[in-house]
A and B are shown apart, each in its own frame.
Chain A
């Protein structure tokens, strides 16, 4: 963990109007939650549906994509990463720092808003809110590791991440149950499923497998990012 790198990354992510998108997305979810609470439709069904569909399967992947690829992708693109790589800082420290920054951003803009939206809509009824918050947190860590690795590997990291989230998790998930079970979203849903007694949250994956896969994918993402950063070739800007 290197505090200077962390500070520079935070400044790049939150500086000026770049952060607007990060603020707007959770804000929309909170507005939706308040709207549902005020109109009186926020029962357990609706609440878990909103937290699942909006919090876990829309807001989380989007934010993880922006934060995960954003902490390292642009620096590699414009060559600024050289100023970091030429300092005597181990590559794993750089990756770990970037990962921590991405996770902090995800916690701030996806996990906390999910918790707030859940508390606004249904309080802690049937533990749905805390369960999904933990699910979003664990999913967020795994997504962050995968997207940071993507950001190091490819210049089209955002597009590839998008294809994974939209085509693999959503499109194929609807047609092929196999693809659905092999997704970060289902694994984090499995954790949430275990933590709540509400029947609205159901996952197709067993808890031990899900936790194991989450840990493996996080470790693999971090390791891959470190290895690729060791042999990074800095191309000129497009």
Chain B
């Protein structure tokens, strides 16, 4: 539906301004984003998201503090490794908050109320998906940004191109700019690579979490189902990788097996396409491996939106 409608039951006419589709989309997005952190809900709904966000920040804060008080040359955690290292916390956030976004309206059968108003089915799903991706991105990107800012503040000398006296062409001494390996530009590039990785993590995890939560509407069961998928997939992948490497000496299989665990999957893209170092146990070699992993991510996101669209459209009919 592209035009807004006002329910006119004949008592009083409305000829004010009509807020269109973009307004509906934006309202739903903001509402879901707030819900993901428990804002606008009772205090006990805020406990988990904020506790987990705080836990996510702890290692970054500790790393910055260590940089500030010691001579440690580099941050303790690489930007691209942050999400993978903290994956347990991210998985718990995903498991507790995905049902908040995707199960609640289904559990209380309130979806038809939305669709009796000019809210498009796809808009409804996109707003939910976008809001949850944003929430996960905030969860992942804030600590990485803290690491970056911390490095800028505590190691400003390493971030600047260093002025050095070098010998000129005719033998005279001139002052030149020498790029140190860890200069500001390179550092910032790593940071943006890390942010791109965070976005991809957010997209893939939201896709998986929301679909599972939309089909397990019973309270508590959605949480368990999301975490079950995370734990089972990562355990199986680690077991298969272990067997492939130690028993069969087959590193190709072990690399490709990584595609089946969400965190390993995104790490493959980070390593092969964004130039990060490997954090996951294994990755398929070459750009081909990276492109394959990226294709899997894209398929997950597209498939998830399609499934959610069908699910909510069907729920809207009853």
Binding site for B on A (CB under 8 A): 18, 21, 25, 28, 32, 36, 41, 43, 45-46, 49-50, 53-54, 57-58, 62, 65-66, 69-70, 73-74, 77, 155-159, 162-163, 166-167, 170-171
Partner of A54, one of B218, B236, B243, B248: B236
Of B223, B232, B236, B238, the contact of A162 (CB 8 Å cutoff)? B223
Could you say which residues of chain B place their CB within 8 Å of the CB of A46?
243, 247
- CA A163 to CA B92, docked complex, whole Å: 7
Instruction: Tell me the chain B residues, 225-250 only, with Cβ under 8 Å from chain A.
Output: 225, 227-228, 231-232, 235-236, 238-239, 242-243, 247-248
Find out whether the CB atom of B224 lies under 8 angstroms from the CB atom of A62.
yes
Chain A to chain B contacts (Cβ below 8 Å), 30 pairs: A18-B221, A21-B225, A25-B228, A25-B232, A41-B243, A45-B247, A50-B239, A53-B238, A54-B236, A54-B239, A58-B231, A58-B232, A58-B235, A62-B227, A65-B224, A66-B224, A66-B228, A74-B220, A156-B47, A157-B220, A158-B223, A159-B96, A162-B92, A162-B95, A162-B96, A162-B224, A162-B227, A163-B92, A167-B89, A171-B88
> Are the C-beta atoms of B228 and A21 separated by less than 8 Å?
yes
**Measured CA separation A43–B238 after assembly (Å):** 17
Instruction: Please report the C-alpha to C-alpha distance between residue A85 and residue B227 in the assembled complex, in whole angstroms.
Output: 32
Q: A41-B247, A49-B242, A74-B220 are in contact. List 4 more A-B contacts (CB 8 A).
A: A28-B236, A50-B239, A156-B44, A166-B91
> How far in angstroms is the closest Cβ of chain B from A199?
16
Q: Are A70 and B221 in contact (CB under 8 A)?
A: yes
Minimal beta-carbon separation of B110 from chain A (angstroms): 13
Minimum distance in angstroms from A189 CB to a CB of chain B: 16
Please measure, in the bound complex, the distance between the C-alpha atom of A43 and the C-alpha atom of B247, giving whole angstroms. Answer: 10
Which of chain A's residues has its CB closest to B223's CB? Answer: A158
Please report the C-alpha to C-alpha distance between residue A226 and residue B187 in the assembled complex, in whole angstroms.
57
CB contacts under 8 Å to A, within B189-223, are: 216, 218-221, 223
CB within 8 Å for A159 and B221 given contacts A21-B228, A25-B228: no
CA distance A203 to B239 in the complex (A): 20
Q: How many residues of B contact A (CB 8 A)?
A: 29
- Give every chain A residue within 8 A of B75 (Cβ-Cβ): none
Q: Return A71 CB to nearest CB of chain B, in Å.
A: 11
> In this complex, what residue of A is CB-closest to B235?
A58
Complex partner residue of B239 from A49, A62, A157, CB under 8 angstroms: A49
B260 CB to nearest A CB, Å? 12
Query: 3 closest pairs, A vs B, by CB?
Result: A158-B220, A158-B223, A58-B235
Complex CA gap A54/B238 in Å reads 10
User: What are the residues of chain A within 8 A of B92 when measuring CB–CB?
Assistant: 159, 162-163, 166-167
The residue of chain B having its C-beta at the shortest distance from the C-beta of A160 within the complex is B48
Write the chain A residue with the least CB distance to B230: A166
Are the CB atoms of B239 and A53 closer together than 8 Å? yes
State whether B221 touches A66 (Cβ < 8 A).
Answer: yes
Q: Count A-B pairs with CB separation below 8 Å.
A: 83
From B44, B223, B224, B228, name the one whose CB has the most chain A CB atoms within 10 angstroms: B224
Q: How far does the Cβ of A236 sit from chain B's closest Cβ, in whole Å?
A: 12
Cα A63 to Cα B171 in complex, Å, equals 76
Most chain B CB within 10 A, of A155, A162, A170, is at: A162
Give chain A residues whose Cβ lies under 8 Å from the Cβ of B219: 73-74, 77
For the complex, what is the distance from the CA of A32 to the CA of B227, rounded to whole Å? 19
Q: Which residue of A lies closest to B219 (CB)?
A: A77
B88 engages A167 (CB within 8 Å): yes
8 Å CB contact of A62 from B44, B48, B89, B231:
B231
Residue of A nearest to B231 (CB): A58
Can you name the residue of chain B whose Cβ is closest to the Cβ of A154?
Answer: B44
Q: B216 to A21, Cβ gap below 8 A? A: yes
CA A45 – CA B96 in complex, angstroms?
36
Report yes or no: A21 in contact with B247, Cβ–Cβ below 8 A: no
- Nearest B residue to A58 via CB reads B235
Q: Which residues of A contact B227 (CB under 8 A)?
A: 62, 162, 166
Residue of B nearest to A69 (CB): B220
Which B74-96 residues have C-beta < 8 A from chain A?
Answer: 88-89, 91-92, 95-96
Say how far A87's CB is from chain B's closest CB, in angstroms.
24
Cβ of B248: which chain A residues have Cβ within 8 Å of it?
Answer: 41
Q: Which residue of B lies closest to A157 (CB)?
A: B220
Residue of B nearest to A73 (CB): B220
Q: B235 touches which one: A54, A69, A73 (CB < 8 A)?
A: A54
Per-position binary interface string of chain B over residues 39-56, scored 1 when its CB falls under 8 Å from any chain A CB and 0 otherwise = 000001001100000000
Bound CA span A29–B214, Å: 25
Q: Smallest Cβ distance from A146 to chain B, in angstroms? A: 15
CB distance from A72 to the nearest CB of B (A): 11
In the assembled complex, the Cα of A162 lies from the Cα of B91 at a distance in Å of 10
| CB of A78, distance to nearest CB on chain B (Å) | 8
Question: From residue B263, how far is it (CB to closest CB) to chain A in Å?
Answer: 13
Complex contact B220–A62 (CB within 8 A) = no
User: Which of chain A's residues has its CB closest to B91's CB?
Assistant: A166
Q: Which residues of B contact A66 (CB under 8 A)?
A: 221, 224, 228
A170 and B227 CA atoms in complex are apart in Å by: 14
Q: Which residues of chain B have C-beta atoms less than 8 A from A162's C-beta?
A: 92, 95-96, 223-224, 227
Please give, as numbers and ranges, the residues of chain A lying within 8 Å of B88 by CB-CB distance: 166-167, 170-171
